[in-house]
Structure 1
Amino acid sequence: MDDAAILKRRGYIVGINLGEGSYAKVKSAYSERLKFNVAVKIIDRKKAPTDFLEKFLPREIEILAMLNHRSIVKTYEIFETSDGKVYIIMELGVQGDLLEFIKTRGALHEDDARKKFHQLSSAIKYCHDLDVVHRDLKCENLLLDKDFNIKLSDFGFSKRCLRDDSGQLTLSKTFCGSAAYAAPEVLQGIPYQPKVYDIWSLGVILYIMVCGSMPYDDSNIKKMLRIQKEHRVNFPRSKHLTGECKDLIYRMLQPDVNRRLHIDEILSHCWVQPKARVLSSTAIKEGENSQGTEPSDIPEPGSDKKSATKLEPQEEAQPEARSESQPEEETLQLQVSKQLETTGEQLSRETVEEPPAQPPETQT
């Protein structure tokens, strides 16, 4: 029996294909019970690799069943047929994903970015409070509902964190995700703190939201890693970002895992807090942000790619005079994300601000 017939018997009328990979596909369908359209993820066990079947799929199913948050895609039903196909019925992101939204409309205004980023950060706090980590945060996995609210999706690389006898979270050794969003500790192939990894990816996402381009060029992983470890983050001159926004991004893209912000610190940051919006654009131009540093004090380079948004070419920032040992090529390999495209190739380069001599180091 084909997918359409199986789903019809369960009360779903199959619509269009939304995406397809080597062993999974996603279709839209109308639910006769719910009276609205849903997304159906269909996984073929016969085609899926062993590690996916033994490790990742059971984790995803367990986690989807336990999550219930307004900014996380809802899971309505999960069932399996005798011929080894798994059907996951989920909320449909009717407005597509955030990457397509930005490619079509360009960078978001800070107020819109703040709203969406707060929704995403609230979803991540909910997960982290449950000791659940996503490990594949990227714009393609952020769906938009009919009102353009964020809905976090695709928990294929998620897991529940374990704790040791002292109550400390154990490190992860599975290096998964997409290179453009991966933290330097993951790129180096060393055991990492998964919650801290999620925070780096949040920083990349916020940069993309407000800049419309990637913070780092992942076409050369070794070069990208060197720039990341030097804590260089450059911002497009044309975007006129506020100092608070750049400060938050800079602190999330912190290569030192012990100094990178935690999710509670992100949600309490002055840029994320709606009440903090009384700061005028004039005050920002005068450098009167809440950290007492000039907006240009949050630096450095990053960048991007050929693209759909047709932005200006990026200036090459001057690297800091610092030597870093280079990782071997084999340590730079990531597990391939379950997407048909790599995000970095979808967004372009922009003109960036020159980094200041001293980045801000005050904590928010």
Structure 2
Amino acid sequence: MDDAAVLKRRGYIMGINLGEGSYAKVKSAYSERLKFNVAVKIIDRKKAPTDFLEKFLPREIEILAMLNHRSIIKTYEIFETSDGKVYIVMELGVQGDLLEFIKTRGALQEDDARKKFHQLSSAVKYCHDLDVVHRDLKCENLLLDKDFNIKLSDFGFSKRCLRDDSGRLTLSKTFCGSAAYAAPEVLQGIPYQPKVYDIWSLGVILYIMVCGSMPYDDSNIKKMLRIQKEHRVNFPRSKHLTGECKDLIYRMLQPDVTRRLHIDEILSHCWVQPKARGLSSAAINKEGESSRAAEPPWASEPSSDKKSTTKLEPREEAQPEPRAEPSPEEEAAMVQVSQQSEAVGLPGEQPSKTEEGAPPQPSETQA
């Protein structure tokens, strides 16, 4: 029985193809019971790799069944047929994904970015409070409903965190996700704290929201990793971002995992909280990681009105101090994550030089 016939028997009228991979595809369908359109993810067990069938698919199904949050794509039904096909019926993101939205319309204004980022952060907090980690947070996995609200989707790399005898979360060793959104510890092949990994990805997403470009150029993973480990974040001057917004991004893109923000700290940050906005940069310096710096620790690139927000070309960066070459293990992990990454469709934005006093202070540099 073909997919259309299977879905028809379950009360769904199959529509157009929304996406297709080697062993899974996503179709739109009209639900006769719900009276609106849905998305149906169809997985063919006969074509799927063993690792996916034994590890990732069971995790995804278990987690989807337990999630219920207004900013997470709803799962209406999961069923399987005798010929080995799994059907996951989900809420449809009728306005597409955030990446396409930004590529079409350019960077978001801070007020719009704040609303969407708060929705996303609330969804991530909900997951983290359940000890669920996403591990593949990226703009392509943020769908938009009819009112352009964020809906977190695709829990294919998600898992429930385990705890040791003392109650502490155990480290993860599976290196998954897209290189452009991956934290330095993942790129290096270091066992990582998955909740802290999610925070780095949130920082990349917020940067893309307000800048319309990638914070790092992932065409050279080794070079990108070196810049990340130096805690260098460069913002386009043309976007006129507030100090509070830059501060939040800078503190999420913190290479030192012991100093990276937690999800509760993100939600309580002055940029995210409407009542707390308008604090002076001095107040940020007092509370933030740049307390010993005379200038903010991030860099701004030279303004260029001739560049399109989504067609910016990567530019040569300031030369960092010499760094030790990565070990063979780190090289292997970089290649692995790079191979798993997908084309993100937005260019990196690396300035030709940084502002005077803009690089992080020695105490901020992560070797």
Q: TM-score, normalised by structure 2?
A: 0.89
Q: Structure 2: how far apart are the matches of 1:335 and 1:246?
A: 27
Relative to 1, partners in 2 of residues 1:358 and 1:180: Cα closer, same or farther, differing over 3 Å?
closer
Q: Structure 2: how far apart are the matches of 1:64 and 1:96?
A: 20
Residue deviations 1:341-360, cap 9 Å, x none? 421x4335375872535537
* Match status 1:316 vs 2:327: no
2:116 partner amino acid: K
Q: Structure 1: how far apart are the matches of 2:127 and 2:30?
A: 29
* Match status 1:45 vs 2:59: no
Q: Structure 2: how far apart are the matches of 1:31 and 1:338?
A: 34
Relative to 1, partners in 2 of residues 1:301 and 1:109: Cα closer, same or farther, differing over 3 Å?
closer
Residue deviations 1:308-360, cap 9 Å, x none? 95544454332342524424331213358988x421x4335375872535537
Relative to 1, partners in 2 of residues 1:83 and 1:210: Cα closer, same or farther, differing over 3 Å?
same
User: Which structure 1 segments of 5+ residues have no match?
Assistant: none
Per the alignment, residue 15 of structure 1 pairs with 15
Q: Structure 1: how far apart are the matches of 2:194 and 2:31?
A: 36
- In 2, are the aligned partners of 1:237 and 1:352 still within 8 Å (CA)? no
Per the alignment, residue 32 of structure 1 pairs with 32
SS, match of residue 291 in structure 1? helix
State the superposition RMSD in angstroms: 2.4
Per the alignment, residue 173 of structure 2 pairs with 173
- In 1, are the aligned partners of 2:103 and 2:310 still within 8 Å (CA)? no
Q: Structure 2: how far apart are the matches of 1:342 and 1:258?
A: 30
Per the alignment, residue 235 of structure 1 pairs with 235
Per the alignment, residue 71 of structure 2 pairs with 71
Q: Structure 1: how far apart are the matches of 2:244 and 2:353?
A: 16
Per the alignment, residue 298 of structure 1 pairs with 297
Relative to 1, partners in 2 of residues 1:97 and 1:113: Cα closer, same or farther, differing over 3 Å?
same
- In 1, are the aligned partners of 2:215 and 2:349 still within 8 Å (CA)? no
Q: Structure 1: how far apart are the matches of 2:325 and 2:272?
A: 36
Relative to 1, partners in 2 of residues 1:57 and 1:314: Cα closer, same or farther, differing over 3 Å?
closer
- In 2, are the aligned partners of 1:71 and 1:119 still within 8 Å (CA)? yes
Q: Structure 2: how far apart are the matches of 1:45 and 1:308?
A: 44
* Match status 1:257 vs 2:254: no
Q: Structure 2: how far apart are the matches of 1:247 and 1:331?
A: 30
Q: Structure 1: how far apart are the matches of 2:138 and 2:275?
A: 28
Q: Structure 2: how far apart are the matches of 1:173 and 1:32?
A: 43
Per the alignment, residue 304 of structure 2 pairs with none
Residue deviations 1:173-218, cap 9 Å, x none? 1000000000000001111000000000000000000000000110
- In 1, are the aligned partners of 2:313 and 2:347 still within 8 Å (CA)? no
Per the alignment, residue 196 of structure 2 pairs with 196
Relative to 1, partners in 2 of residues 1:352 and 1:31: Cα closer, same or farther, differing over 3 Å?
farther
Residue deviations 1:101-134, cap 9 Å, x none? 0000000000100000000000000000000000
Q: Structure 2: how far apart are the matches of 1:142 and 1:110?
A: 18
Per the alignment, residue 359 of structure 1 pairs with 360
Q: Structure 2: how far apart are the matches of 1:4 and 1:295?
A: 64
Within a 5 Å distance, the mapping from 1:89-104 to structure 2 comes to 89-104=89-104
Per the alignment, residue 105 of structure 1 pairs with 105
Give the total of aligned pairs: 350
| Residue of structure 1 aligned with 2:335, choices 328, 333, 336 | 333
- In 2, are the aligned partners of 1:232 and 1:301 still within 8 Å (CA)? no
Q: Structure 2: how far apart are the matches of 1:114 and 1:259?
A: 23
SS, match of residue 285 in structure 2? coil
Q: Structure 2: how far apart are the matches of 1:78 and 1:313?
A: 43
Q: Offset of 1:16 from its aligned partner?
A: 0.6
Relative to 1, partners in 2 of residues 1:322 and 1:272: Cα closer, same or farther, differing over 3 Å?
farther
Residue deviations 1:62-106, cap 9 Å, x none? 000000000000000000000000000000000000000000000
- In 2, are the aligned partners of 1:243 and 1:289 still within 8 Å (CA)? no
Per the alignment, residue 137 of structure 1 pairs with 137
Q: Offset of 1:295 from its aligned partner?
A: 10
Q: Structure 1: how far apart are the matches of 2:241 and 2:352?
A: 11
Per the alignment, residue 119 of structure 1 pairs with 119
Q: Structure 2: how far apart are the matches of 1:310 and 1:268?
A: 30
Per the alignment, residue 269 of structure 2 pairs with 269
- In 1, are the aligned partners of 2:188 and 2:334 still within 8 Å (CA)? yes
2:180 partner amino acid: A
- In 2, are the aligned partners of 1:299 and 1:353 still within 8 Å (CA)? no
1:119 partner amino acid: Q
Residue deviations 1:5-58, cap 9 Å, x none? 100010000111000000000000000000000000000000000000000000
Q: Structure 1: how far apart are the matches of 2:223 and 2:191?
A: 21
Stretch of structure 1 that moved more, 327-336 or 127-136 = 327-336
2:33 partner amino acid: R
Q: Structure 1: how far apart are the matches of 2:6 and 2:338?
A: 30
- In 1, are the aligned partners of 2:177 and 2:337 still within 8 Å (CA)? yes
Residue deviations 1:255-279, cap 9 Å, x none? 0000000001101110010112345
Residue deviations 1:141-165, cap 9 Å, x none? 0000000000000000000000000
